[in-house]
Chains A and B, each alone.
Chain A
Amino acid sequence: MLPCFLAAALVLALAGHATAHHSFGVAFDANKPVTLSGVVTRIDWRNPHSHVFVDVKGPDGKVVNWTFEGYPPNVLSRTGWKRDETVKVGDTIKAFGWLARDGSPFAHLREVTLANGQRLFFGPPAGTGEGAPLAAEPAAAPRP
């Protein structure tokens, strides 16, 4: 007898969106959302994933350089990002995403809040790698 959740996952495998480049759930934990603020030290607009590197000061005062992963440049552009304009090195941003499973300072980046309050998606919603999306996002602010 197939467990219920797995049967549902098998049905949803085709109904839900397929992963674009790789499974979310292998490297990231959809049950570990994270919001961090810090100063951008580098942005890599590259395929198959762009990365934003951010210096984040921990509660102990120690600064750790985090790596945030998201959409490729094509998709960022369609999502409203302008290279070298939207975010520059030295800018302070707030990043919302999900932590890497290996405990390193690495996360999947869903949404960035800029210093002026503007919010932009940087990556897709969380998934599980099991064929079905998993809702683990906090309630989003109203969108136009």
Chain B
Amino acid sequence: MRMPTTLVLGLLASTVVAAQSNAIRPAPRTPDGRPDLTGVYQASTRRGGWDAEAPGDAPGVAAARRAPDVQAAGRPEPIPYRPEARARAEELLARRSADDPTTLCLPQASPRMTGVGLFPVQFVQTPTQVIALYEYFWVFRVIPLDRREHPDDVEPSHMGDSIGRWEGDTLVVDVTSFKPGGWLAAGFVHSDALHLVERYRRVDRDRLDYEVTIEDPNVLTKPYTQRITLMLREGTRLREYSCAENNLDPKVYEKLMANPTLFLRPGAR
């Protein structure tokens, strides 16, 4: 069979593009030699969505290659809840997470904002600070790199107070001063004693590894570490997500609350 020349050329070109996009490209560096985190990332490789296991089938910007499945590398440890926190989590899950504060459009601590996947995150790095911009709830964090201590006039907040420093090629961010009641995951409610130590490492141009150690002595018996892989999404831009614009859900929930048997898990108290 004789193939048209254009088709042969097209096939060759697409093979070359595929090979290029799978190549590991080195992480960019700033003029002062630090790894440069600047870029737009998503915690999935799927175009538009968050299902890492499903390749994109729609326009949008896919990651250059699939993220390594860090969760599959080792079964994640169960959350080391204190007994009373475990009981609370069971109750909240039986209520199918109806009490999740994101229903009210409230921003949450960074592990959740970073790992949401559906919405991209943008980092902007300068020599003295890193700005993290979250499309999810359209919020941001300023992480100064030139402070050794948290300020002494910090008010507790949903996303806490962040200070960063470089440890070799890893950006280490210490986060404190949280309001109690935020959710780190379904049923995982933190107290005002939450303390996060985040580690950001741009492994290569396309991959940013995020590791966070979660300490909360009121909720956990020991620190808990979570790992998320963020993939660079060149060509993706952040767009406004004004969650409060037309948030009908609290009303829908209010109606359901009047008849909780409609949504409670069978067998729930």
Q: Which residues of A contact B (CB under 8 A)?
A: 2, 6-7, 9-11, 13-15, 17-23, 25-27, 44, 46-49, 71-75, 77-80, 101-102, 120-121, 124-125, 128-131, 143-144
Contacts and interface: CB of A to CB of B under 8 A. Distances in A.
Chain B binding site: helix, strand, loop or mixed by DSSP? loop
A48 B245 contact: yes
Given A11-B75, A48-B105, 9 more contacts: A13-B185, A19-B97, A22-B103, A22-B253, A46-B245, A72-B241, A78-B59, A78-B60, A130-B94
A130 B265 contact: yes
Interface of B: 47-51, 54-55, 57-61, 71, 75-79, 81, 86, 89-90, 93-98, 100, 102-103, 105, 112, 115-119, 135-136, 184-188, 226, 236, 239-249, 252-253, 255-256, 262-263, 265
B224 to A, nearest CB: 9
Contacts of B240: 74
A131 B185 contact: yes
A47 B49 contact: no
B252 to A, nearest CB: 6
A23 B96 contact: yes
A130 B246 contact: no
B245 A47 contact: yes
A144 B57 contact: yes
Nearest to B265: A130
A49 B249 CA distance: 10
21 contacts: A2-B86, A7-B78, A11-B78, A19-B100, A19-B102, A22-B102, A23-B100, A26-B97, A26-B98, A49-B246, A74-B135, A75-B118, A77-B239, A78-B47, A79-B60, A120-B58, A124-B49, A129-B97, A130-B96, A130-B186, A130-B265
A27 B47 contact: no
B241 A48 contact: yes
A129 B256 CA distance: 14
Contacts of B253: 22, 26-27
Given A26-B253, A74-B135, A79 B246 contact: no
Contacts of A72: 241
A26 B254 CA distance: 11
Given A21-B243, A77-B239, A79-B58, A6 B93 contact: yes
A13 B47 CA distance: 23
A46 B249 contact: no
B103 A18 contact: no
A120 to B, nearest CB: 6
A13 B188 contact: yes
